[in-house]
Structure 1
C-alpha cells in the first residue's frame, strides 16, 4: 500500500469520526428538545381548572352548582384583592412562598382551607405534628364540627397529632386526618386532599360531601393556585472559587495553561504504537462493599440493610431536590411529593416509616426506593430543561 493510499485512508477515518460526533450532537439536541416540549403541564395537582385525575375541577363544579362563586387566582396580589368578609381562602401547599408571604396571604381571610399538608405549614400555623397512619381504613367524623355532621366516612391519606386548641377530625388512636383551628375569629383547616378531593377520588366514600362542607360555608371562594412564577424566594448562588479569589488569578491561570499547552506542542513528540504492559495486582474497592453485604445477608439483618439503603436514598434525593444535606426524612418526602405531585403519606411511610423485618419486605423497600430516585431524577431533569 502506497503512502498516498495510507493518507487517504487516514483522512477517511478522520472524516467518519467527525460525522459520528456530529450525529451524536444532533441526536442529543433532538432528545433534549423532545424532553422540553414533552414536559408536563404545570397545572394539575389540586388545580380547580384541571380535569386531570389530580386536579379538582369536579369539586369546583359541585361548589358552583351549590351557588358558591369561585374566583381562581394565580398570584398573591389577585388573591388578597379578591378576599372580603364572606370569603373562604383555599389553596394547596404554597411551596413557592416564604413563611412571611404565606402569613401575609392568609391574614385578611377569616376562613382558610389548605388542601395539601406540609411539615412547614404545621409549624408555621402551629397546628400540630405529623403522625403515623392508623391501621384502620375509612373513618367517621369523630369531632364536633357542625358542618361535618353529614359527611359520612372518609379514608385520609395523611394523619396529624393536633396541637393544643386544635380540633382533630376523622381520628383514630389520637391521629387525625383533618385539623381545624378557631383562633380570634379566624378559622383554619388543613388536610391532605390529594387522595380525597381530587377528580380521581372525589366519588369515593364521603369525599364529595367533605369537600362541600369545608369549602361551601361561604358564598365566595378565592382559590389560590401556587406556582414558581409567583414566588418571593430569591435564588442565592453559592460562592465559587472565582468569586473568592482576586480578579487577576483567573487570567494568570489561563495564561499558564496556555503556556503549558504551547510548550507541550513545541516540545512534544509523536506518539508511537500502544504497548501492552502487564499491570500490577490491584484490589477492587468494591470488595469491601461486597464483604459487608455478605455479612449482613449471613446475619439476616434486614432492618440494618434497609436502614443503609434508606440513608443513601435520602442523601441522593436531598441533593437532587436542592435540599440541605441534613434535611429530615419528612422534609425530603414533602419536597419529593411536591415535585412528583403524588400523595405525601406513602412517601413519609417509605422514607421515615418502620423498617422491614424480612428479606421479602427488604426487596420491596429497595425496589420502591430505586423507583422513587428514578422518578425524582426524571422530574428534576425535565424541570431544568423546561424553557
Structure 2
C-alpha cells in the first residue's frame, strides 16, 4: 500500500469517527430533550391538581376524593362550563389572564361556590367588589380571628398574599400585616372565597398547620369540584393569527424534511471531489522551479523589482556554490568572483547581478536572459572540457 493510500485510509477513518461522534451527540440531545419534556409534562404547572411536583396540588385533589368529593379537572372553558351545568359544584380557579372579564363572570356565575386560589386585582374586582391586594404577609402562623366556621375549625395557617376587604359584606380571616389571608363573601348560600393557595395548598405545604383542613372546608361544601386550569390556547381574546396558523399543516413537516435533506446533501458533497490519484512520495521539486514560479507571480502583478530580486537571489546562491566561496559571501563578492573567473567586465557583471533594476516586463525578460548567460559563462569557465570545439 502506498503512502497516499495509507493517508487516505486514515483520513477516511478520522472523518468517519467525527461523523459518528456528531450523530451520537445529536441522538443524546434528542433523547435528553424528550426526557426533560416528559419530566416537565409530569410536573405540569403550579397549583395543578394532576401534578405530583412540590408546587402541584395532586395531594389535595386526592384528599378531596377520599372525602367523597368528585374532582373534575378542566383545561378549557368549554369543559368547565359543561361540568358546572351538569353538577352543583364548587369552581376552583387560578388566575386566567387569557379570558375577558365577561368570560370570567359567566364562568363564575355558573358555579354554586367559587374559590379563587390565585387572586389578582381583576378577580377581586369582578367577584369581591371593592376588595384589593394588600401586600405579602410576614412569616409565621396566625389565628383565624373571624366568625367563619370553616376557618375556625381549621386553625392557624401561614398566609402568603394578603387581601383587603372592600366592605362589611366580606368576611376577612387570618389578619397579618396590613391585610387578611382569606376573604369570603356569602350571598344567599352562594359563596365566593379568595385565598393565596401557593404557600398553603400545594403538595409540599399541605401537611403544615391547618392548611389541609382549610382547603377541604372551603372546597368540599358540594359533592363536585370543578378545578379549572386554563391552557395557553384557551382564550376568547381577539388575537392576530400566527404564520403557523395561516399555513397548511403539511408545511412544517416539509420544512423539516428539506432541512434534513440539505444537511445530508452537504455531508455528501463535502467529500473530496473526483477519484484519488496515486503519486509516489516524496516528490522532488527543483529549487529553480519554485524561484521562477514566484518570480512569475511578481511579474504578473507588475512588480518587476521583486521578480528581479527573486531571480538574482537564486542566481547568486547558485554562483556562490559553484565558485566555492561559501554561503555567507556578499553579493558584491560573488559578482567580483564571477567576473574574475569568466573574464567579463566587473561593472557589467555587477550591473547584471546587483545594480540594474528593470522597469518593465521586457527589461525583466532581458535580465533573466543575462543572468542565465552569466551563470553559463561561470559553468564554462569551471569546466572547460565541456566547451564545444
Q: TM-score, normalised by structure 1?
A: 0.49
**Which has the greater radius of gyration?**
2
Q: TM-score, normalised by structure 2?
A: 0.49
- Which one has more relative contact order, counting CA pairs under 8 Å at least 6 apart? 1
